[in-house]
Amino acid sequence: MIKFPLSYKRVTNRSLMRTILSTKYNKRPSLRQSYIRYTDAESIKTLFQKLLASKQASTIACPHCSSSHIIGHGRYRDRQRYKCKSCSRTFNDYTNTPVHRTHYPDKWIPFLKCMVQGESLRVSAICVGISYVTLFYWRHKLSRAIQLFLDYQIHTHTDGYLPVGIHPPRYVVSEMESSHFIFWIRHFNWIKEKYLGRYVSWFRFVFSRSKNVLVETMTDFLLISSSISIDQTYRTIKSVS
């Protein structure tokens, strides 16, 4: 079970992260293994089979023009491709999902765990084993989709940074969520004000599932964020409509 409140989980996890950060670089892989779970080939296959099943459960429509006039268009890397007869564009089952255009499908499970546990990009990069710049875009792919799923909007006035580590914006959550949110968001120290709505949505999604089993929350995170069809590129991820 994910421990409740969230603070218990964060404190326990930080002790391990301090050990990893203070360890010589060539010794980190062995420590990383003590953090990563559910990353064997069978678990990864199971996760993506669930994602595929959730996408194919509904009528397949073109993600570019919404037409239902679709035909098969071969396979690429074991993925079924489709072609739209209306706009002539091709796509697959993962188009317009967070995993679209990503090259490390095996890294998504440890990253989802980092997201559920609210880890920083630096810690996530060490645990997952890829660049924190790449993980920045993965984080915002997920949080942007979750924000749309929750239909949560917050109006910001500047494009500056918020010192959430010193002055957490408690006004954006309810009184019941306040203490947990303050502890959770302080971990990030500074965030861009325009992304505040994404962070609140991310927190609320995890907080609402704080009593669930960890792997269930990780799976929900990916499946629900993938249920929102949204074309996410480096440019659109950074923009806030």
What's the mean pLDDT in 164-191? Answer: 91
The domain limits of the chain are 6-59+96-238
Q: Output the pLDDT for position 11.
A: 39
Q: Are 224 and 218 in contact (CB under 8 A)?
A: no
Per-residue burial over 101-120, b if 16 or more Cβ lie within 10 Å, else e, is ebeeeebbbbbbbbbbbbbe
pLDDT-above-90 percentage for the chain: 29
- Number of Cβ within 10 Å of residue 98's Cβ equals 28
pLDDT score of 111:
92
Which pLDDT score is estimated for 181?
94
Is the pLDDT higher at 65 or at 43? 65
Query: Residue written as tokens 């993506």?
Result: 48
Give per-residue pLDDT as tens, 83-142. Answer: 999 999 999 888 888 888 888 888 888 899 899 989 889 888 888 888 989 999 999 999
Is the pLDDT higher at 182 or at 41? 182
| Residue 37 CB coordination number (10 Å) | 14
| CA torsion angle 160 162 163 166 (round to 10) | 150
Query: Does the structure show a pLDDT above 80 at 223?
Result: yes
Cα–Cα distance, 209 to 204 (Å, whole number): 9
Q: Which residues fall within 8 angstroms of residue 229, CB to CB, at 6 or more apart?
A: 63, 96, 97
Residue 162, judged by CB atoms within 10 A of its CB (0-12, 13-18, 19+), counts as: buried
What distances in angstroms separate CA 132 from CA 14, 122, 127, one per listed residue? 18, 6, 10
Find all residues with CB under 8 Å of 169, minimum gap 6, and list them: 162, 185, 196
What pLDDT, on a 0 to 100 scale, did the predictor assign at position 28?
56
CA separation, residue 201 to residues 42, 82, 185, 198 (Å): 31, 33, 12, 5
Q: Which pLDDT band, with edges at 50, 70 and 90, does 37 fall under? A: low
